[in-house]
Amino acid sequence: MRALRSEEGRRDPFAFYAELHRHGPACRLDASVDGYDFVVHGYEAVERVLRDPVFRLLDSEYLDGTGVRWRDHPALRTLRDSLFFVNADTHRRMRGLFNQVFTARRVTALEPAIARLTNAALDRMAGLGSGGNSLDFMAEFAFPLPSDVMGELLGVPEEDRAWFRPRVLAIGAILELEGGTFRNIRAADAAATELRAYFADLVAKRRAEPREDLVSGLVSAQADNPDRLTDDELFSNLITVFNAGFVTTTHMFGNGLTLLLRRPDALARLRDRPEVVTSYIEEIIRYAPTTNFVVRYAYEDTDIMGLPVPAGSSVVVALGAANRDPHRFPDPDAFDPLRPDVKPLTFGSGPHYCLGAALTRAEGRLAFPMLFERFPDLALAADPGVPWHLDLRGYDTLQVTVA
């Protein structure tokens, strides 16, 4: 893992993944050097770990045993009070309430809004890119569109959504493998404090005047099941759901656009046959995943594909490496948008499967064909280089021309 955190590893983690695969589906690490006890990277092994209740998220119980004063930090308390960082009965309690209101029907009902917001973003790009001027695709499309979609879903007013972006990014920064610096945590704490106050106010408004949005649905479900979710848990979950739904989709757009603009044949095929866009989205998610890692710990003595794992061991679950497993994907380092039976593990598997996966896929399925139909001459205006972050991996800026 130390090699992965080097400059070379950050710029090309996929070479490191290929080396991992030469050592089987999982490896023991030197925690004194790598910071973790094991890494699991084979597709089958990763899926097993994600589905096995013995492997748990680093929840409040785990952190309390480390001696770290994490409860002093609003950002860490917010994360640990959300369904993204709880286990077993607590997770089932929270997830059950969210599943009750964040349904496939709600995502389908959001599709007209996704199309409307996409058209608005395309109009903005057309205005900025007139006369051959370059524009930043991330700033004008990839960031605002998912933010607006999440705003529509939750019921965040349009005029408030730009305020969210820097605060979302501040909390996301501490989720990197080495993101827990003093500076990052301080910024994340400030962001979490402001976001909790915002959502407390929004929840109060929806209790007084319900609407057809997710916050209203959650408030109603909470009233019917008062033991399922406290107000503190509700605020924490709203913050983390907004963050997750925003940032992962943002980088799916940026990574996907770069892949396709660098592969004119694949882009031409999508333009000619927009009905294959679903296959393209799956391959983008596999080949250039936003989320490359999650971390688990062994709640009791167990094993990973025959490798003994003592209780308390920390395990890096390398989703990005599983997506490049040659035993699962022929020629895994090739981008093949018509690849059959893709099923990437980017969104996880098992009980913690990403709550917003269907929404991210819907945004990609609707927006990419609209983007390429509107701008047949869309092109990169400069070499974007390669992303630097290991997790939440994507471009900060992406200069393009539309005419």
Tens-digit pLDDT profile for residues 156-189: 998 998 898 789 889 888 877 677 888 999 999 9
Bridge partner residues of 379 (DSSP)? 401
Provide the residue type at 153 as one letter: L
Mean per-residue pLDDT of the chain: 93
Angle at the Cα of 48 from the Cα atoms of 47 and 52, rounded to 5 degrees: 120
pTM of the model: 0.93
Q: Are 281 and 1 in contact (CB under 8 A)?
A: no
pLDDT of amino acid 166: 87
What are φ and ψ of residue 332, in 5° steps?
A: -65, -20
Name the band, by pLDDT with cuts 50, 70 and 90, for residue 147: very high
CATH pick for 7-401 out of 3.30.390.30, 3.40.50.300, 1.10.630.10, 2.40.50.140: 1.10.630.10
Ranges of each domain in the chain: 7-401
Name the band, by pLDDT with cuts 50, 70 and 90, for residue 324: very high
Residue 107 has pLDDT above 70, yes or no: yes
Helix (H) or strand (E) holding 39: strand 38-40
pLDDT of amino acid 227: 84
Strands 38-40 and 314-318 turn out to be: parallel
What are φ and ψ of residue 38, in 5° steps?
A: -145, 155
pLDDT of amino acid 175: 78
pLDDT of amino acid 177: 64
Residue 96 CA to chain centroid, in angstroms?
A: 21
Tens-digit pLDDT profile for residues 273-304: 999 999 999 999 999 999 999 999 999 999 99
Name the band, by pLDDT with cuts 50, 70 and 90, for residue 225: confident
Nearest by Cα to 29 from 37, 40, 41: 37
